[in-house]
Amino acid sequence: MPSLKSHVVSFVLRHSRKQAFSSPENLQRWIAYARKTEDHRPPASLHQRFDITTRSVGGFPVYDIAPKAGERKRILYLHGGAYVFQITSYHWGLIAEMANRLGFGITVPIYPIAPEHDFHAMFGMVGEVYRQMLEEAEAEDIIFMGDSAGGNMAVVLTMMAAEDALPLPSRHVLISPGLDMSLANPEVFEAERNDPWLGISGGMEAVRLYSAGIDRSDWHISPLYGDLSVLPKTLLLTGSHDLLSPDNLIFAQKARAAGVEIEVVYEEGMFHVWPLVDMPEARRARDSIVTFLAGEPQTRRAEAGWWLQGQIAT
């Protein structure tokens, strides 16, 4: 049963953030307001806890959290925000916990976002970040992690790297990723009614703003239609009250059929990117990520609505 806090968060989302995705006009208004308040810098508390350096790639900031002594593994974290919103304190909270529990180095590109920039600028920048990571670490030590739009970017970036014959990352962690922007699956329209956050109309406007005219069914925009066989071992986290969930489950089935080793965490009653919010379900999700990446013992297992180890809810 979903926690009381998750119900409170769902209520707040439905009466606030949901408005941003209710229409193209509303999304545009939220973007304009966000530009006045967004701050991509890590909170001061993170600087007190971690060794964080800043550099520039293509004129955009990249933050690097140094690994613990002797640790070789690196995470490339691609934040969500519908390709139009900046990284938030919620993202930094998750990043900080992963840095603390895993000890891996974490690279966080503040990539160019729409409508000021488009697909080509985004992937030009994050592609260069990955190439630079490959100069300092072996691909087998690199993990792509992303939430929402960032989950989409992680998959597309791997596919683009494969196309360029670059070494590929060893693992993916995808949190509520957007993997099919074509609206080909009618189940997403039913799922929208249960989603307290996302809406199709505003979501399609976000896709229009960043996609640079590329067809929505092209794998560069909807990686569900790309060559899934190139993907590494993957952990996918999705919730029953997320309009992206039906496509997430199809992706998992197709990836497994393509030979990808994929584990799915499907949480009943959970909304979009719930692992970013401090509540019991998020703590379970974060445990699953740490277990997947480092083998830390799972502290909470047989919970209602919990599927792991490659199971897919039906």
Q: Can you list the domains of the chain with their CATH numbers?
A: 4-294 (3.40.50.1820)
Q: Do 23 and 201 touch, CB atoms closer than 8 A?
A: yes
Torsion of Cα atoms, 19 then 78 then 2 then 261, to 10°: 130
pLDDT for residue 305 is more than 80 = no
Task: Go through 142-179 and write b for each residue having 16 or more CB atoms within 10 A of its CB, e for each that does not.
Answer: bbbbbbbbbbbbbbbbbbbbbeeebebbbbbbbbbbbb
Average pLDDT, the chain: 94
3-state secondary structure string, 262-309? EEEEEECCCCCCHHHCCCHHHHHHHHHHHHHHHCCCCCCCCCCCCCCC
Residue 68 or 310, more confident: 68
Look at residue 313 and tell me whether its pLDDT is greater than 50: no
Nearest CA among 49, 27, 13 for reference residue 239 = 13
Please give the model's pTM, rounded to 2 decimal places.
Answer: 0.94
pLDDT of residue 1: 86
Name the pLDDT band for 295 (thresholds 50, 70, 90).
confident
Secondary structure class of 191 (helix, strand, coil): helix
pLDDT at 310: 38
pLDDT (tens digit, 9 = 90+) per residue, 1-45?
899 999 999 999 999 999 999 999 999 999 999 999 999 999 999
pLDDT bracket for residue 184 (50, 70, 90):
very high
Average pLDDT, stretch 133-142?
Answer: 98
- Report d(CA 266, CA 233) in Å as an integer: 17
- In eight-state DSSP terms, residue 196 is S
The tens digit of pLDDT for each residue in 227-281 reads 999 999 999 999 999 999 999 999 999 999 999 999 999 999 999 999 999 999 9
The sign of the CA dihedral 226, 176, 198, 26 is negative
pLDDT more than 90, % of the chain: 93
pLDDT of residue 307: 39
Euclidean distance between the first and final Cα of the chain, in Å? 17
